[in-house]
Homo-oligomer: A and B are copies of this chain.
């Protein structure tokens, strides 16, 4: 086991979509008195860990996701680095760090990554019971500066999604247009018109209809689509303009 770098970490904001809302994966953090077993506090944190010696930042992020959630081969994007000297200095974090991680520095710079998964099919595995999904609209009490990190991640995700078709990372391989629309609505935080949405998607040649319909739903079954990364790569063009 390689030693950790005591003052550099990565934190991963794992976004998941459950066909209704956008969720974030959080892990319960509970500090107990070692003698009385009394709970001193309970809150939640992102998945994070220190970077190891000889490890690139994105390797560290991949490792964190694998070790803390069992996820692998998922979309990952660095979005911001958090290095304020007071980011671990609220009361609970000081207690926690002293008791659980006395070996790490007081000033840890953390590189933020977000990743995108389909939260319905990809669930954190059995080994990580204290890790759960929370709606981005209704987050629990968070440790460190993780509320700020999530807020920034969400902002960066919105900007990214409005420029590039990364939403497909949040859906299963096959999806319907209503699901896709619902995803955009959840991430961008606003309602979209169904007919206009479908018109726009029709222009995206990389969203490909299959000769296949939904089954077992109590209404008219929807057509099923897939996203072709390959077609996107071949047809994309940079769109840079100055706006108002």
Interface residues of A (CB under 8 A from B): 5, 7-8, 51, 53-57, 78, 80-81, 83-85, 107, 109, 111, 158-159, 161-163, 165, 167, 184, 188, 190, 200, 203-204, 239-244
A-B residue pairs in contact (CB < 8 Å), sample of 18: A5-B7, A7-B8, A51-B83, A53-B107, A57-B83, A78-B81, A83-B111, A158-B240, A159-B163, A159-B240, A162-B241, A165-B242, A167-B242, A184-B242, A188-B240, A200-B244, A203-B244, A239-B243
Q: In the complex, what residue of chain B is closest to A53 when comparing beta carbons? A: B107
Whether A85 contacts B7 in the complex (CB less than 8 A), given A159-B240, A239-B243, A240-B159, comes out as no
Chain B residues with CB below 8 A from A243, complex form: 162-163, 239
Cα distance A84–B56 when bound, in Å? Answer: 5
Chain B residues with CB below 8 A from A200, complex form: 242, 244
Chain B residues with CB below 8 A from A83, complex form: 8, 51, 56-57, 111
Tell me, rounded to whole Å, the shortest Cβ–Cβ distance linking A242 to chain B: 5
Of residues A5, A54, A244, which shows the largest number of chain B Cβ atoms within 10 Å of its Cβ? A244
